[in-house]
Amino acid sequence: MAKLIVELKRVSKIYDMGHSKIYANDDISMKIGENEFVFIVGKSGSGKSTLINMIGSLDYPTKGRVLLDGQDISDLDESELAQVRGKKIGFVFQSFNLIGSMTALENVMLPMTFQNISPTEKIKKAKEILDLVDLSERLYNLPSELSGGERQRVAVARALSNNPEVLIADEPTGNLDSKTGKKVMELLGKIHKQGKTVIIVTHDIDLIKRTKSHKVYKIVDGKLK
């Protein structure tokens, strides 16, 4: 059996609204292993984003346990959690979240700022990753000078900059046309084949049908179905 990277044990995220409680996630258990390709699918408002924030150690559960490499994230303070997250998890966002005043190269180097890496090594490593996503000729372009697909590939490269075990992509094709989205999915498949655990959050059922995945989790009204 593959080594467990992420495990959720009866996890709930509850928001207290005064006279009522809102269960964004309700009693969810799941296991995600090393080098798995996983889809988390659900409609808007189903609780996907809340769930992925806990899987990615961006938020703590109200109930239950989230284990990252066997370690309960609730046992870590914010500083410790940021360190673990920075080394183990890379995030790709639907809206890219690139820094507009930075070049592609600088955006990819940014997550390395908090790691003990020399400036020369940061540049070398960022160039290698941008070459991996076929952007070696766009190193010094600003995001505004890149197409949507190129910006998403910079976002993928940035997520890989600290060599994380897990790559989480939240609606990675949501802002792209179908042809460009297909290329981004092919890139994520390539990264998976290189040994990474890839988790894709989407509402697009067709995306799942077009992709060979190891595992699909469906979220409906905050619960696993």
Q: In the chain, what is the straight-line distance between the N-terminal and C-terminal CA atoms, in Å?
A: 24
Bridge partners of residue 32, in order along the sequence: 6
Cα(160)–Cα(147) distance, rounded to whole angstroms?
A: 20
Q: Which of 66, 225, 88, 211 is nearest to 160 (CA)?
A: 88
The reported pTM is: 0.89
Give me the pLDDT at residue 208, please.
83
Give me the pLDDT at residue 213, please.
67
Cα(32)–Cα(69) distance, rounded to whole angstroms?
A: 10
**In the 8-state DSSP scheme, what is residue 173?**
T
Tokens of 183: 């290329």
Give me the pLDDT at residue 181, please.
86
CB 90 within 8 A of CB 157: no
Cα(107)–Cα(22) distance, rounded to whole angstroms?
A: 37
pLDDT in tens, the chain (225 residues): 578 999 999 999 999 988 899 999 999 999 999 999 999 999 988 999 899 999 998 899 999 999 998 899 999 888 888 888 888 999 998 888 999 999 999 999 999 887 788 999 999 999 999 999 999 999 999 999 999 999 999 999 999 998 999 999 998 888 888 888 888 888 899 999 999 999 999 988 888 877 776 799 999 999 998
- Spatial neighbors of 206 by CB under 8 A, at least 6 apart, are none
Q: Mind listing the domains of the chain with CATH numbers?
A: 4-224 (3.40.50.300)
Give me the pLDDT at residue 96, please.
87
Give me the pLDDT at residue 78, please.
85
Give me the pLDDT at residue 51, please.
94
Residues 26-52 as b/e (b if ≥16 CB within 10 A, e otherwise) read bebebbbbebbbbbbbbeeebbbbbbb
